[in-house]
Structure 1
Amino acid sequence: MHWTKEAIKALDFKFRLNLINSITGIKPANLIGTISESGTTNLAIFSSVVHLGSDPALIGFIVRPTGEIPRHTYQNIIANGLYTINHIHESFIERAHYTSAKFASEESEFDMCKLTEEYLAGWKAPFVKESKLKIAMEFMESIPLKRNNTIMIIGQVAHIFIDDIAVNDKGRIDLAALNDVGLSGLNRYYRLEEIAEHPYARVNELPDF
């Protein structure tokens, strides 16, 4: 198959949505937890979480246009500057997926999707108790992306909570041991399995391919 830019634009809306959301391959599946000024918790699934740097430890993610539809995650982060990132595992894929439904602002996805709020290290924003890898985030900045009116949220890692079995003596995380899942498009989930490990790539150490 071959689609040009013009052909892509002319595609059926749902077909184009599925196609473009899938062409980047497997994306991380995370739940972002926030709390409103009135104390209502919010939980939303995101597949756009990305590493931005390790010193300082920065993580970004993309929020879709706010427009007329309130984006509770965005509103809560801007209001109080704190949020959490929680990995999704096979044991609660379905519950995590349905946090994407458009619940009212006074309804908590934790309650509606039967996930458990957890508060650690005095952090105001809620973690997902069912998650074995949780990250407390401090909001740093938001960058509007003019091309499609989305917003990149950049935060700094404040705390990391992770199951002991998943970290080796070099600090590498075994995502398969956590039963982490990846996401393709908007609704197709995949198991993660480590299939290879290679050393840091140096020109003078190239293998004989």
Structure 2
Amino acid sequence: MKSINPKDLSSKDNYKLLSGSVIPRPIAFVTSLNEEGILNAAPFSFFNMVAGTPPLIVLSVGRIKGEIKKHTGRNILQQKQFVVHILDTDLLEKMNQTSAPYGDDVSEVERVGFTPIESTDIAVPGVKEAKIRLECQLFQHIPLEEDGKCQNDLFIGKVVKYHIDEQIYDNGRILADQLDPIARLAGPNYAKLSETIFLERPTKGE
């Protein structure tokens, strides 16, 4: 067993070890609006759910040299709203294209050929092709600081409306096989669901 102190590693090397260890990760495909009304879209794998009551999701967005440069981070702070999508593997190529370094005046949604769709409870549109859309309002913003420096921002979003494709919805449950979600591994590697393991939770301790 190899033991490594994170303090002995560069930021890049820590990222490699963490992103290669914490796998597979779900991907949030996030749409947000800038001040000019341009619809931005980008994928993030530092993402998960954190509570059911209230329904909360969490998203970590990295800074660039300590500044909030990424469109998603800036837009969420300005508008206090965003949409999280869970995309299926058929949309992987389009999703990947949105991660290119487009300028502020370019909508990644339009550039890669996604179809914008109006939200019902917030002003930020979503993407019609997604089987799941979660309309979110900003619940809490936490700059992640250490030694007076901040390299990441944690955004906690409160889900205010679910939009779910009827083909993957069954009596209050999501059909994972029908959803066929994209998962993230390390580097430029992705994964999909292969085998589902059913295991009842124990009702008594021994």
Q: Does TM, scored on the shorter chain, surpass 0.5?
A: yes
Task: Report the equivalent of 1:198.
Answer: 199
Q: What SS does the aligned partner of 1:125 have?
A: coil
1:123 maps to which residue? 122
Shift of 1:153: 0.3
Partner-residue secondary structure (3-state), 2:133: strand
SS, match of residue 45 in structure 1? strand
Are 2:43 and 1:41 equivalent residues in the alignment?
Answer: no
Q: Bigger shift: 173-182 or 131-140?
A: 173-182
Q: Distance in 2 between matches of 1:54 and 1:162?
A: 17
Following superposition of structure 1 onto structure 2, how do residues 98-117 of structure 1 map, counting pairs within 5 Å? 98-117=97-116
TM-score, normalising length from structure 2? 0.87
C-alpha RMSD of matched pairs (Å): 2.3
Alignment partner, residue 50 of structure 1: 48
> How many pairs were matched up?
202
Can you list the C-alpha shifts for 1:108-163, whole angstroms capped at 9, x where unaligned?
A: 11122222211132531121111001100011110111146311101111000111
| Aligned partner of residue 93 in structure 1, secondary structure | helix
Partner amino acid, structure 2, of 1:40: I
Secondary structure of 2:37's partner? coil
2:62 corresponds to: 64
Partner of 1:25: 23
Return the offset for 1:18. 3.5
Checking the alignment, whether the CA contact within 8 Å between 1:176 and 1:194 is kept in structure 2 is no
Tell me the residue number matched to 2:72: 73
Report the AA paired with residue 129 of structure 2.
E
Deviation at 1:98, TM superposition (A): 2.0
- C-alpha distance in 1, partners of 2:96/2:140? 27
Normalising by the residue count of structure 1, what TM-score does the alignment of the two structures yield?
0.86
The answer to whether the aligner puts 1:182 opposite 2:180 as a matched pair is: no
Structure 2 counterpart of 1:164, from 158, 163, 166:
166
Q: 1:194 to 1:160 in 2, by over 3 A?
A: farther
Q: Which runs of 5+ in 1 are unaligned?
A: none
Deviates more, 1:62-71 or 1:156-165: 62-71
Please say if residues 28 and 47 of structure 1, whose CA atoms lie closer than 8 Å, have aligned partners that are also in contact: yes
Query: 2:6, 2:158 → 1: CA distance?
Result: 39
Given residue 2 of structure 1, which amino acid in structure 2 is its aligned partner? K
